Chains A and B, each alone.
Chain A
């Protein structure tokens, strides 16, 4: 009996209704997204610069790639800062 109650509750909880976006919704959002300037080749270049400038991203990428432990990560960090120092000089 309890299984039957559970099944009935599950059945009543199932809700197949799905929201239907209004006509033109996708185009409107796409226009807004482009107009807001978040998506463009320029912003991608800015993102690439952000990534290159982030030692954490580099270090984590290398550490994950070579399965480095804490010591390895510190070594990578030191090399990175040394390289950055040379580049800035």
Chain B
């Protein structure tokens, strides 16, 4: 942890309200974005971001200074988002391992997603199709893939957030893209 961060955390722990506000200000955008991507629901972001920071401040006295503060906060945001999905009955419990899953295609066989750069689909249409297909992916693939699409979140951070090795994150994202291509291919297949 950088000295500035350590000073900020210590000021928060001492009950300095301005320091607490500065910490929220520093991480609120990313926390809200993580929640947004995980839930896909803009209407719940503010409440869940608030819940995240209240959990952060509650746990701050026990934060391990050797860890990265941003990763620790994003992990809490991820858990808050998943708790919300679970409560709403929108979270499918599946172990986050890279083995035994429902991806049946061969890993090396190329799949035409139907998103040919030369194709007639406009970017907006293609983006809408991708979003719809993404929403239907199993959560174990969808969540790492949407986190990876956020600027500023790298694979080690996603691994820490999901509490899995980096290799598992890479495999899950690889399979997520493959599943996505397969689903897009069925959506964009021309009707004869």
Question: Contact at A26–B21, with CB atoms within 8 Å?
Answer: yes
Q: Is B36 an interface position by the 8 A CB rule?
A: yes
Question: Contact at B46–A22, with CB atoms within 8 Å?
Answer: yes
**Given A8-B115, A38-B58, A39-B20, does the pair A21, B53 have CB atoms closer than 8 Å?**
no
Residue from B29, B58, B117, B150 within 8 A of A20 (CB atoms): B29
Q: Residue of A at shortest CB range from B30?
A: A18
Closest CB in chain A relative to B159 CB, distance in Å: 19
**Given A12-B127, A13-B149, does the pair A29, B24 have CB atoms closer than 8 Å?**
yes
Q: Is B177 an interface position by the 8 A CB rule?
A: yes
Bound CA–CA A3/B145 (angstroms): 18
Bound CA–CA A64/B191 (angstroms): 65
Q: How many A-B residue pairs have CB under 8 A?
A: 122
**Given A26-B21, A34-B15, A39-B13, does the pair A9, B115 have CB atoms closer than 8 Å?**
yes
- Residues 1-12 of A, flagged 1 when their CB comes within 8 A of B and 0 if not, give 110111111001
Majority secondary structure of chain A interface residues (helix, strand, loop or mixed): helix
Bound CA–CA A36/B56 (angstroms): 13
Question: Contact at B115–A27, with CB atoms within 8 Å?
Answer: no
Majority secondary structure of chain B interface residues (helix, strand, loop or mixed): helix
- A40-48, A65-73, A74-82: which lies at the B interface? A40-48
Question: Contact at B115–A30, with CB atoms within 8 Å?
Answer: no
**Given A12-B127, A13-B149, A29-B53, does the pair A34, B17 have CB atoms closer than 8 Å?**
yes
Bound CA–CA A30/B56 (angstroms): 11
**Given A33-B54, A44-B61, does the pair A25, B46 have CB atoms closer than 8 Å?**
yes
- Residues 1-34 of B, flagged 1 when their CB comes within 8 A of A and 0 if not, give 0000000000011110110111011001110110
Interface residues of chain A, those whose CB is within 8 Å of chain B, are: 1-2, 4-9, 12-22, 25-34, 36, 38-41, 43-44, 47
